[in-house]
């Protein structure tokens, strides 16, 4: 499908690259981009795609935030719909059964920080900047930022960032656990694709089960979380991948996984 605000690429190894593209506005999230993102995440073939990488168009911005020119004149009812649509698209991203990696190549502010947080793993360039500056505009984070940021960096740090609306650099984002790694701009995508290939080589069903365990355990108590892990651990033994993987290990060979 052709999109106005998204560029899509599927590589031969099953790694898909989704580029958020509205360069004139530093890839700001408008209703059109959100709708296209929602459609892409609904349509994506997660049997064919093994890892999804999300990045921004250009070398200045991942996503600079939501489109303020669109939001400025919304009333309460319209604001509710706008927030719900963004949050729903980001929930679909978080709930994808396949691993997702954000390649954050510049500004990740407001909705940009929120879409990055909906990904499983975040790699950033040294020029990346992060923040939830919404209170300086008279609003609060509306695409699940108040939910995900405390989970990643703790309540105290999340409150500091959200209440102050300040912007932090990539080294500080790494220090507080908002991103996994930081690279020079030209090294960012190669590092992300190296990680994606490393993930892709592993048993896809096992990777999916691991993601399901982690995501479902997010808000559960220990007993329920461990029960889910035990259930999905057992299911792995019903797969061809488990038989092939362990046989290859015992025979000192490299395993080939079929996702069965």
Residues designated as active site: 114, 134
**Scanning the structure block, which residue is given the tokens 């500091």?**
160
Helix/strand/coil (H/E/C) assignment for every residue in the chain: CCCCCEEEEECCCCEEEEEECCHHHCCCECHHHHHHHHHHHHHCCCCCCCEEEEEECCCCEEECCECHHHHCCCCHHHHHHHHHHHHHHHHHHHHCCCCEEEEECCEEECHHHHHHHCCCEEEEECCCEEECCHHHHCCCCCCCHHHHHHHHHCHHHHHHHHHHCCEEEHHHHHHCCCCCEEECHHHHHHHHHHHHHHHHCCCHHHHHHHHHHHHHHHHCCHHHHHHHHHHHHHHHCCCHHHHHHHHHHHCCCCCCCCCC
Burial class (CB in 10 A: 0-12, 13-18, 19+), 173: buried
């Amino acid at each position: 499908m052709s999109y106005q605000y998204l560029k899509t690429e599927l590589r031969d190894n099953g790694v898909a690259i989704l580029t958020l593209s509205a360069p004139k506005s530093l890839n700001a999230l408008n209703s059109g981009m959100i709708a296209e993102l929602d459609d892409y995440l609904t349509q994506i073939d997660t049997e064919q795609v093994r890892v999804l990488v999300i990045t921004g168009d250009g070398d200045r911005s991942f996503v600079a935030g939501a489109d303020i020119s669109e939001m400025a004149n919304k009333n309460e009812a319209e604001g509710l719909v706008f927030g719900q649509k963004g949050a729903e698209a980001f929930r679909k991203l978080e709930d994808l059964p396949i691993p997702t990696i954000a390649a954050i190549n510049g500004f990740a502010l407001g909705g940009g920080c929120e879409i990055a947080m909906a990904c499983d793993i975040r790699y950033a360039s040294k020029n990346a900047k992060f923040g939830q500056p919404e209170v300086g505009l008279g609003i609060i984070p509306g695409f699940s930022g108040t939910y995900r940021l405390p989970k990643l960096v703790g309540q105290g740090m999340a409150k500091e960032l959200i209440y102050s609306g300040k912007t932090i650099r990539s080294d500080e984002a790494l220090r507080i656990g908002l991103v996994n790694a930081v690279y020079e701009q030209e090294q960012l995508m190669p590092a992300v694709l190296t990680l994606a290939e490393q993930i892709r080589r592993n048993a896809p069903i096992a990777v999916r089960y691991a993601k399901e365990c982690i995501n479902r355990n997010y808000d559960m108590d220990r007993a329920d979380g461990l029960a889910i892990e035990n259930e999905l651990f057992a299911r792995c033994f019903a797969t061809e991948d488990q038989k092939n993987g362990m046989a290859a290990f015992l025979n000192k060979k490299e395993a080939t996984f079929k996702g069965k």
